[in-house]
């Protein structure tokens, strides 16, 4: 039997993510988790998410979108985590069931002990919500100007693609793209 769970990556206005500590006597007890809980019979994932977040943390979901689905087999059970990114909510998050909760930066999530099934969620929560896949760099000046414009607009992840990666000119361009990304605080793939 698979346990179907609705979970949330709740993001506040400071781009911090809400995490909660599991009760010591629970499955995977004492570890940190993304808030949520079991989807009950006859309930949609969205309904379960809203119910669980209100019950556990006191927040009301105003806007959420699907982020990732994770199937994981533990030795004693299988889980399907339906994870949503909650970008708008009302209320102040607190542990309504006595559990510690805290807001952390996405890059700090790896510093906390989570159940193994949560590892793909941590990776997904750490990615920007959009990224740029570059077009073919046919006209160098235009290509670099468009890259700079995207970086100024706040793009934080760039996938640099070109058809001739072995050429010396391409390698020099790749180094330039990486340097511009780093100066803007963006990652380059």
Q: Residue 6's closest CA among 85, 73, 94?
A: 85
Percent pLDDT > 70 in the chain is 97
Distance CA 30, CA 37 (A): 16
Mean per-residue pLDDT for 11-22?
95
Nearest-CA neighbor of 116 among 167, 83, 84, 75? 75
For residue 187, the tally of other CB atoms under 10 A from its CB is 14
For the stretch 37-80, pLDDT in tens is: 999 999 999 999 999 999 999 999 999 999 999 999 998 889 99
pTM to 2 decimal places? 0.77
Residue listed under structure tokens 């807001």: 103
Q: How far apart are CA 53 and CA 56, in angstroms?
A: 5
Does residue 104 contact residue 17 with C-beta atoms inside 8 Å? Answer: yes
Rounded average pLDDT over 157-182:
84
Six token digits for residue 46: 């969205």
For residue range 86-127, what is the model confidence (pLDDT) as tens digits?
999 999 999 999 899 999 999 999 999 999 999 999 999 988
For residues 16 and 100, what is the distance between their CA atoms, to the nearest angstrom?
16
Helix (H, G, I), strand (E, B) or coil at 112: coil
pLDDT of residue 168: 67
What local confidence, expressed as pLDDT, does residue 24 receive? Answer: 79
Q: How big is the CA angle at 13 (ends 11 and 18), to the nearest 5 degrees?
A: 30
What is the rounded CA–CA span in Å between residue 27 and residue 4? 14
**pLDDT the model gives residue 165:** 62
Say whether pLDDT at 167 is over 80: no
Task: Using alpha carbons, select from 116, 73, 79, 64 the residue that is nearest to residue 4.
Answer: 79
166 pLDDT exceeds 70?
Answer: no
Give the pLDDT confidence score for residue 1 in this predicted structure. 83
CB 53 within 8 A of CB 138: no
């Amino acid at each position: 039997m698979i346990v179907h769970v609705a979970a949330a990556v709740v993001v506040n206005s400071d781009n911090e993510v809400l995490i909660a500590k599991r009760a010591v006597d629970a499955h995977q007890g004492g570890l940190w988790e993304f808030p949520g809980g079991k989807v009950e019979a006859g309930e949609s994932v969205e309904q379960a998410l809203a119910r669980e977040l209100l019950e556990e943390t006191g927040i009301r979901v105003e806007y959420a979108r699907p982020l990732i689905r994770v199937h994981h087999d533990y030795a004693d059970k299988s889980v399907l985590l339906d994870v949503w990114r909650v970008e708008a909510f009302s209320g102040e998050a607190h542990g309504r069931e006595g559990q510690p909760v805290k807001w952390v930066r996405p890059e700090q999530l790896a510093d906390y002990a989570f159940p193994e099934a949560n590892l793909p969620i941590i990776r997904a929560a750490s990615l920007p919500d959009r990224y740029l896949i570059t077009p073919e760099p046919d006209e160098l000046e235009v290509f670099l100007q468009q890259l700079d414009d995207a970086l100024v607009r706040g793009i934080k992840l760039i996938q640099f693609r070109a058809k001739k990666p072995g050429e010396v000119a391409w390698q020099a361009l790749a180094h330039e793209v990486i340097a511009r990304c780093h100066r803007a605080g963006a990652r380059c793939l």
